[in-house]
Amino acid sequence: MDAADRRILALLVEDGRRTYDDIARRVSLSAPAVKRRVDRLRERGALHGFTAVVDHAALGDQTEALIELFFAPGTLLEDVARTLTRYPEVVEAWSVTGEADAIARVRTRDNADLERVIMALQRDGLVQRTRSQVVLSRLVGHVGER
């Protein structure tokens, strides 16, 4: 990956709807050359796709939280992943080191809705307990995250 590839990626991260012509003008290449580079970046896995940035607060999801999950002994990660995907409020989840077994990032309408999700996770039997932090404000964010 050279400097032109990195600049192309930065431009696409800034606005995934840019045309090849627009990118070409900004990196001093032809549009077909930019398309070939983008295709190569996708083939190599450096670029996975293009996404829309959604303002969840504008859609009514006012609460964002990180929920630490503590599983029952012997719980398999596949079972946890399958369980978490049943909840559309869970937008991301990771297995982690440390005290908790995993962390889920959750978006809900309000605190009452967050409580409903937490209670449902605890009721399913895989999660023995949770510890939550409600996000007050975003201090740092990358394009594509809101």
Q: Where are the domains of the chain?
A: 3-44, 63-134
Q: Whole-model pTM above 0.85?
A: no
Sequence-ordered list of residues with C-beta below 8 angstroms from that of 27, at least 6 positions apart, any chain: 4, 7, 8, 11, 34
* Residue 65 contacts residue 131 (beta carbons within 8 Å): no
Q: Per-residue pLDDT for 145 more than 80? A: no
* DSSP H helices in the chain: 3-14, 20-27, 31-44, 77-85, 111-123
Give the whole-angstrom CA distance, residue 132 versus residue 142.
23
Provide the CATH number for the domain formed by 3-44 in this structure.
1.10.10.10
Tens of pLDDT, residue by residue over 47-73, are 988 877 778 888 889 999 999 999 999
Q: What angle do CA 47, 54, 100 make, to 5 degrees?
A: 75
Model confidence at 88, in pLDDT bands (50, 70, 90)? very high
Tens of pLDDT, residue by residue over 94-131, are 999 999 999 999 999 999 999 999 999 999 888 999 99
Strand partners of residue 90 = 106
Give Cα separations from 53 to 14, 37, 101 (angstroms). Answer: 11, 24, 29
Q: Per-residue pLDDT for 146 more than 70? A: no
* Topology classification of domain 63-134: Alpha-Beta Plaits (3.30.70)
Mean pLDDT taken over the chain:
91
For residue 14, the model assigns a pLDDT of 86
Query: C-alpha 80: how far from its chain's center?
Result: 18
